């Protein structure tokens, strides 16, 4: 069949064709007989209908921006641990188990940590973007990167460098809003804020996206992540990449744009290690080991950009989205800001006094965790605390998004946005019940940085403006990425106080 004919097909038809072709071509690494013996047991199997099992249902949900809600509904109907079956592809693809059981999460992230690495399943999919960076490696490579990166998070750096960068970029955002007429896309602005901030904090680079919103880097970063997400949901992605079809058609160009941009950052930084830029995240790596290759350092830049731009901007955007639907909470946050900050405004010492703002951020992260689904690899066959048997080579995912909506964990009002719950708790939920910053040995190193940025920015925004949605709330939709972006943006009416 010619490619010109395929272009005229409905996308569902040719994607199914490619999926079946994967079986015919034998692209998988294991035999059918072996995989039959490696099917998960002891949990609900979601089979779907037709040759490809549940895959077409997941694809349809992704197109409608309902993937996270679709899988959450599967948990509600079938149980806290589910096994997704992919029809005839089950003979050739990695078995996929998803859990929202807090016992299982603690077991895989802490108690039996060594048995659940990132592994080949994740690293192969993400290598084009993350390479050998901290989020895509295990073992000694991960330990070395984490140990060096942790040197950045000292009290002195937060107070004298990180907070200064955050304050400066908060001021730029306020100037943008004051000068703007009409509706604004706050999701776009907040992504530019966090990109500029992590650029200066992470590698001493002035990215300047708050001044220039049209950077091709911004587009490529989003498109590259969408490609990775589809790879998780489409077993035939390597064939698509080889043929240059579907979502892989432009992915190579976006990956190349990101690599070239990041490599230029490394080149510039290498010439300025004796300046303040040398004390940045990546500068510390370069000075600690001068033998590190340019390829490795380029991967480092992209890993830090992913961690420092997307997740924080998305968390603030979803928080703002929820605040605009609750005038009561927005006014309560504003009242606390006025009381704590007074006429002098916010400073670093006052951040920890904003208890209701802190509760509001934690509540929005519960409902919209920046990494809604995280994948691990089963190194050796194991039985989880809930009785699920996971075979060697399977992918085991935990779903923070579904956990945040679990009545078992949060009570009958789990679906409600109610920041007060965080002030009423006698004991805080464990990070395994609420793994929005991951948990265990790989808990997010940037957790404190993210909270400082979010508190500083939201304090500036809510303290100076009133925000109202410019579109119906049901039109604000999550994006199909590894992190929970907004495919629709966040159009707002912004009114100075």
Per-residue pLDDT reduced to its tens digit, 466-483:
999 999 999 999 987 788
Could you list the beta-strand ranges (E) of 292-373.
none
How does strand 96-99 pair with strand 395-398? parallel
Of 95-109, 204-218, 477-491, least confident by mean pLDDT is 204-218
Contact indicator for 14, 21 with CB cutoff of 8 Å:
no
Most confident segment among 6-15, 30-39, 68-77: 68-77
Q: What is the CATH number of domain 3-496?
A: 1.10.630.10
Give the Cα separation of 165 and 162 in Å (integer). Answer: 5
Q: Are the CB atoms for 473 and 466 separated by under 8 Å? A: no
Which residues are registered as beta bridge partners of 96? 84, 395
Better-predicted residue by pLDDT, 164 or 87: 164
CA distance 365 to 444: 14
Distance CA 485, CA 372 (A): 10
Q: What order do you get walking across the sheet with 184-185 strand by strand?
A: 184-185, 491-496, 465-469
Mean pLDDT, rounded, for 219-239: 85
pTM of the full structure: 0.88
Kindly state the tokens that stand for 28: 């998988």
pLDDT at 452 over 60: yes
* Residue 378 burial class via C-beta count within 10 angstroms: exposed 0-12, middle 13-18, buried 19 and up: buried
Sign of CA pseudo-dihedral 129, 250, 189, 199: positive
- Band (pLDDT 50/70/90 cuts) for residue 442 is very high
- Residue 20 confidence (pLDDT) above 80: no
- Cα 268 to chain centroid, rounded: 28
Overall average pLDDT of the 187-191 stretch: 94
Lowest mean pLDDT among 7-16, 92-101, 162-171, 371-380: 7-16
Closest CA to 249 of 407, 14, 426: 14
Among 117-126, 410-419, 430-439, the least confident range: 117-126
Average pLDDT over the chain, rounded to whole? 87
Q: What is the mean pLDDT of residues 243-252?
A: 90
Cα atoms found within 13 Å of the Cα of residue 131, Cβ hemisphere only: 21
pLDDT above 60: residue 230 = yes
The percentage of the chain sitting over the pLDDT mark of 90, rounded to a whole number, equals: 55
Exposed, middle or buried: residue 79 (CB in 10 Å: 0-12, 13-18, 19+)? middle
CA 86 to chain centre: 25
Q: Where are the domains of the chain?
A: 3-496
Element (H, E) at 396: strand 395-398
Model confidence band, residue 37 (pLDDT cutoffs 50, 70, 90): low
What string of DSSP letters covers 44-66? EEE--SSTTTTHHHHHHHHHTT-
**Which positions ≥6 away from 349 have C-beta within 8 Å?**
none
Lowest mean pLDDT among 152-156, 194-198, 276-280, 470-474: 276-280
CA-CA distance, 497 to 495, in Å (whole number)? Answer: 6
CA separation (Å) from 296 to 128, 314, 325, 430?
A: 13, 27, 44, 35
Mean pLDDT on 344-366: 95
**pLDDT at site 290:** 85
Whether 393 has a pLDDT exceeding 60, the answer reads yes
Q: What gap in Å lies between CA 409 and CA 455, rounded to an integer?
A: 26
The pLDDT-based confidence of 32 (bands split at 50, 70, 90) is very low
The answer to whether 444 is annotated as binding is: yes
First to last CA, the chain: 62
- For residue 43, what is the DSSP state? S
Beta strands in 264-390 (DSSP E): 374-377, 382-383, 389-390
Tell me what the mean pLDDT of segment 237-249 comes to. 89
Q: Is 84 helix (H, G, I), strand (E, B) or coil?
A: strand
Summarised one tens digit per residue, pLDDT across range 394-413 is 999 999 999 999 999 999 99
Q: In terms of pLDDT, which residue wins out, 468 or 9?
A: 468
Position 121 confidence tier, pLDDT thresholds 50, 70, 90: confident
Q: For residue 496, what pLDDT is reported?
A: 93
416-440 average pLDDT score: 95
Q: How confident is the model at residue 3 (pLDDT cuts 50, 70, 90)?
A: very low
């Amino acid at each position: 069949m010619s490619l010109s004919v395929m272009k005229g097909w409905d996308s569902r038809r040719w994607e199914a064709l490619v999926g079946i072709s994967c079986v015919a071509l034998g692209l998988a690494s294991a035999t059918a007989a072996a995989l039959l013996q490696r099917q998960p047991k002891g949990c609900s199997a979601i089979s779907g209908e037709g040759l490809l099992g549940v895959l077409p249902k997941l694809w349809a949900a992704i197109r409608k921006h309902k993937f996270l809600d679709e899988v959450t509904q599967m948990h509600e109907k079938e149980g806290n641990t589910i096994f997704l079956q992919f029809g005839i592809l089950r003979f050739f693809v990695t078995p996929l188990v998803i859990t929202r059981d807090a016992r299982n999460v603690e077991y895989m992230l802490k108690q039996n940590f060594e048995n659940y690495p990132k592994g080949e399943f994740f690293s192969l999919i993400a290598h084009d973007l993350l390479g050998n960076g901290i989020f895509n490696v295990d073992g000694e490579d991960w330990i070395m990167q984490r140990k060096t990166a942790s040197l950045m998070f000292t009290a002195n750096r937060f107070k004298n460098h990180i907070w200064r960068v955050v304050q400066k970029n908060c001021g730029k955002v306020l100037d943008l809003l004051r000068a703007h007429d009409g509706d604004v896309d706050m999701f776009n602005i907040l992504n530019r804020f966090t990109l500029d901030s992590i650029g200066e904090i992470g590698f001493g680079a002035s990215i300047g996206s708050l001044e220039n919103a049209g950077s091709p880097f911004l587009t490529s970063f989003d498109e590259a992540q969408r490609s990775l997400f589809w790879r998780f949901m489409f077993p035939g992605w390597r064939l698509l990449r080889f043929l240059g079809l579907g979502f892989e058609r432009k992915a190579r160009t976006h990956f190349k744009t990101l690599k070239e941009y990041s490599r230029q950052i490394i080149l510039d930084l290498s010439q300025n290690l004796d300046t303040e830029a040398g004390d940045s995240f990546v500068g510390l790596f370069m000075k600690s080991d001068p033998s590190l290759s340019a390829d490795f350092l380029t991967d480092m830049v992209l890993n830090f950009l992913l961690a420092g731009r997307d997740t924080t901007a998305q968390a603030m955007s979803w928080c703002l989205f929820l605040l605009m639907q609750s005038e009561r909470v927005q006014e309560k946050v504003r009242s606390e800001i006025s009381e704590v900050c007074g006429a002098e405004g916010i400073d670093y010492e006052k951040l920890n006094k904003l208890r209701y703002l802190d509760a509001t951020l934690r509540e929005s992260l519960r409902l919209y965790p920046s990494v809604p689904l995280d994948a691990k690899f089963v190194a050796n066959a194991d039985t989880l605390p809930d009785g699920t048997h996971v075979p060697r080579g399977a992918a085991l995912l935990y779903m923070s998004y579904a956990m945040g909506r679990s009545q078992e964990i949060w009570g009958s009002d789990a679906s409600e946005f109610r920041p007060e719950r965080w002030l009423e708790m006698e004991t805080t939920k464990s990070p395994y019940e609420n793994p929005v910053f991951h948990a265990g040995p790989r808990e997010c190193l940037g957790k404190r940085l993210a909270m400082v940025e979010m508190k500083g920015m939201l304090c500036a925004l809510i303290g100076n403006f009133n925000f109202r949605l410019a579109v119906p709330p049901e039109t604000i939709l999550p994006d199909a990425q590894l992190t929970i972006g907004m495919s629709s943006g966040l159009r707002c009416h912004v009114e100075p106080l």
